[in-house]
A and B are shown apart, each in its own frame.
Chain A
Amino acid sequence: MEENKTFTISVYSENNVGLLNRISGIFLKRHINILSLNVSESEIENVSRFVIVVDTTEKWVQNIVGQIEKQIEVIKAFYHVDEETIFLESALFKIASNLLFDERQIQNIIKESHSEIVTVSRDFFVISKSGRRSEIEELHAKLKPFGIMQFVRSGRISVSKEKMEVTSLLLEELKS
């Protein structure tokens, strides 16, 4: 049996209401849990980019990417392992303001973790941290003993080291 790995799937597509449903259905059919999903604009005007992280075998990720590309509104899909991408996640921590003064080490934790304070109000302040999952988890572990009012972490966003040929594909289409 082939071993599971973390793969980042990048999908370039038309901006279409039903497409997310179509794409997630492909994972659902194979019982593959999506570890993270992010949809945003891409570098190309009016083209959306999905970044989907899954834990599966290379054979399955190949099949899945084939089935994703088959969807009418998908322009192109790629998959990469972690070493082939630059990726990060973002997290927000909401913490009671009094702790900033009562628990002095919090300031050091913030400084050492290279996170930043987004806002401070009378009742709470918000820390933002971007980076690898492990860095966010480490910060979470350090802040937890003081009490976190709210915590949220985004899906992975990533860019590939190699070129992903999408622009040229579309340009050719436009020319012809």
Chain B
Amino acid sequence: MKISGAEAVIRCLLAEGVDLVYGYPGGAIMPVYDELYKFQDQLHHVLVRHEQGAAHAAQGFARATGKVGVAIATSGPGATNLVTGIADAQIDSTPMVCITGQVGKHLLGSDAFQETDIIGISTPVTKWNYQITEADEIPEIMAKAFYIARSGRPGPVLVDITKNAQFDTLDFSYKKCTDIRSYHPKPVLKINKVQEAAEIINNAKKPMIIFGQGIILSQAEAELKALIEKSGIPAAWTILGLSALPTEHELNVGMVGMHGNYGPNILTNECDVLIALGMRFDDRVTGNLATYAKQAKVIHFEIDPAEIDKNVKTEVAVLADLKEALTALLPLIEKNSHEEWHNEFKKKYEIELDAVINEELAPTNGKGISMGETIEMINKHSKGDAIMVSDVGQHQMFTCRYSKFNQTKSNVTSGGLGTMGFALPAAIGAKMGRPDREVVAIIGDGGFQMNIQELGTIYQTKVPVKIVVLNNEFLGMVRQWQELFFDYRYASTVMVNPNFCAIAEGYYIKARKVTKREELDEAIAEMMASKDSYFLEVMVEKENNVFPMIPTGASVSDIRLS
């Protein structure tokens, strides 16, 4: 039976188990939208207010569910508006398929209306991309797109479809892609490497684990927990690894990196064995590489061969899917407790508690509400069961430092790219993907205004996300750097803000503003109890800083507490 290319696109999505897509229509993608209309009982399309919102919503969906997120846009500006989200998904290894319309094949290269070379533009920021110019290519390319997006180290794929290919007909049959001869997403685990790693770990006196998103992507949370409990090795996390291990776990020693915890940063340079699990030694994690963990034997468990020895030289590299590798490692690990070594982390935590945390979570200095105490108050009401979606800046660091998590896939944030404007649309995607969970977006007054239009999507879809804007009337993180490194010259970081509650109310979203500490508890209780979406603006102390901090280019041992 012959069907149109556009219908084939929908049938491919259904065959891949997709029931939710985010997008925005336009000329070159209209045939696909016409089919979306016909298939609306099987495939739900969420109309966003800007294509960037579609990309971030698809990311939020993917991060909260582990499934592939899908975003659809038209050619030209529709496609280019997706690019920030695609770049974000690429650097944070998020599985996503973007479908863009393109001018007809006969017009390609002619500077036609809304023509842009989205393949050229998206090449550096996609795991794979392809331009379909004939209808009969659709099933095979769509199958490849989903396979590539989700397999190995996941990432974004863009499929650009010319208008003629959407209109033309084809004999449709769909076969899922399971193999591409030039692509080896899952390296074959070398057991001798696991044995070498186990021997070093068993002989270690002061071992330390740093885990990243690889644990979450390979669903190795249980194996990670079993490993640290058997070996007694303290485990720290990168920002994208957060929530893979419950925050309250005895051996969870906190975050590494620029605004991470004091202990794991300092002790990175004192451990004798550093076990990196599904993380990539980003510069925000390592600080100055020349002085990073030089004393330690580094063991790197990683699925992507290009990450091995890229930044940090390894003693043993175990190239494999994390779940498979940890399953093989576990029986080889000797039971241990490393109590004395673990105490070092506790001692360092006491120092951080005194110097930073206590004051942040319960300010005594007469200053206004802090971001940390707001997060702590959300913890009190969420009991650690919410999905926290943060934007980028100071509030993001406070969210990651102080949120409590009981479950995995609960910390959704723009890590690698640091995309302001990420959280509002990502929270929409996360909530739609996990309607059973509470989703709280934590956003600064700057980032909120970068995709504020998605309030419209929230109103139209009635998706019950909770939005907290921590308003310090500054671009806070940049201001902090200006204070510390640019002698208080606040160049373009002062924000004169509108009435945010009135804007939220303009979208018929219940809104409340908190200016006094005494109101915070009750306001958050009200927000969390709300069945509908809810907007909460919290006026926070204007010039608070995030500490600890490793200044750019400094060593992890030079972490500052103030």
Contact surface of A with B, Cβ cutoff 8 Å: 13-14, 18, 21-22, 25, 29, 62-63, 66-67, 69-70, 72-75, 170, 173-174
Cα–Cα distance between A170 and B184 once the two chains are bound (Å): 11
Contacts of A62 in B (CB 8 A): 309
Contact surface of B with A, Cβ cutoff 8 Å: 119-120, 123-124, 127-130, 148, 179-183, 304-310
B27 to chain A, nearest CB (A): 24
Contacts of A72 in B (CB 8 A): 127-128, 148, 180, 182-183
B86 to chain A, nearest CB (A): 14
In contact, B310 and A69 (Cβ under 8 angstroms): no
In contact, B182 and A14 (Cβ under 8 angstroms): yes
**What is the chain B residue whose CB lies nearest that of A67?**
B306
In contact, A18 and B182 (Cβ under 8 angstroms): no
In contact, A75 and B182 (Cβ under 8 angstroms): yes
Contacts of A18 in B (CB 8 A): 119, 123, 129-130
Contacts of B309 in A (CB 8 A): 62
Cα–Cα distance between A51 and B307 once the two chains are bound (Å): 24
In contact, B182 and A25 (Cβ under 8 angstroms): no
B371 to chain A, nearest CB (A): 35
In contact, A25 and B148 (Cβ under 8 angstroms): no
- Centre residue among A70, A173, A174 by max chain B CB count within 10 A: A70
Which of A70, A73, A75 sits near B304, CB closer than 8 Å?
A70
In contact, A73 and B306 (Cβ under 8 angstroms): no
Which of A13, A63, A75, A174 sits near B306, CB closer than 8 Å?
A63
Cα–Cα distance between A72 and B508 once the two chains are bound (Å): 46
In contact, A69 and B123 (Cβ under 8 angstroms): no
| 22 CB < 8 A contacts A-B | A14-B182, A18-B119, A18-B123, A18-B130, A21-B120, A21-B123, A22-B123, A22-B124, A25-B124, A66-B308, A67-B306, A69-B306, A70-B305, A70-B306, A72-B148, A72-B180, A72-B182, A74-B182, A75-B182, A170-B181, A173-B179, A174-B181
A103 to chain B, nearest CB (A): 47
Judged by DSSP, the binding face of B is: mixed
Number of A-B contacts (CB under 8 A): 42
Contacts A70-B304, A70-B305 given: A75-B181 contact, CB under 8 Å? yes
**What is the chain B residue whose CB lies nearest that of A74?**
B182
A71 to chain B, nearest CB (A): 8
Contacts A66-B305, A72-B128 given: A13-B123 contact, CB under 8 Å? no
Contacts of B128 in A (CB 8 A): 72
Contacts of A13 in B (CB 8 A): 182
Cα–Cα distance between A147 and B182 once the two chains are bound (Å): 49
B91 to chain A, nearest CB (A): 13
Judged by DSSP, the binding face of A is: helix
B487 to chain A, nearest CB (A): 32
Cα–Cα distance between A22 and B129 once the two chains are bound (Å): 10
Cα–Cα distance between A170 and B182 once the two chains are bound (Å): 8
Cα–Cα distance between A25 and B180 once the two chains are bound (Å): 23
Contacts of A14 in B (CB 8 A): 182
Contacts of B148 in A (CB 8 A): 72
**What is the chain B residue whose CB lies nearest that of A172?**
B181
A9 to chain B, nearest CB (A): 14
**What is the chain B residue whose CB lies nearest that of A13?**
B182
**What is the chain A residue whose CB lies nearest that of B305?**
A66
Cα–Cα distance between A67 and B123 once the two chains are bound (Å): 14
**What is the chain A residue whose CB lies nearest that of B144?**
A72
B126 to chain A, nearest CB (A): 9
B42 to chain A, nearest CB (A): 30
**What is the chain A residue whose CB lies nearest that of B180?**
A72
Contacts of A174 in B (CB 8 A): 181
In contact, A63 and B181 (Cβ under 8 angstroms): no
Contacts of B307 in A (CB 8 A): 66
**What is the chain A residue whose CB lies nearest that of B127?**
A72
In contact, A173 and B306 (Cβ under 8 angstroms): no
**What is the chain B residue whose CB lies nearest that of A14?**
B182
Contacts A13-B182, A72-B183, A174-B181 given: A66-B120 contact, CB under 8 Å? no
Cα–Cα distance between A22 and B122 once the two chains are bound (Å): 10
A83 to chain B, nearest CB (A): 23
Contacts of A25 in B (CB 8 A): 123-124
In contact, B124 and A66 (Cβ under 8 angstroms): no
Cα–Cα distance between A21 and B119 once the two chains are bound (Å): 10
A76 to chain B, nearest CB (A): 8
A95 to chain B, nearest CB (A): 38
B160 to chain A, nearest CB (A): 11
Cα–Cα distance between A25 and B129 once the two chains are bound (Å): 14
Known contacts A62-B309, A66-B310, A69-B306; 15 further A-B pairs (Cβ under 8 A):
A18-B119, A21-B120, A21-B123, A25-B123, A63-B310, A66-B308, A70-B304, A70-B306, A72-B182, A73-B182, A73-B183, A75-B181, A173-B179, A173-B181, A174-B181
A75 to chain B, nearest CB (A): 4
Contacts of B181 in A (CB 8 A): 75, 170, 173-174
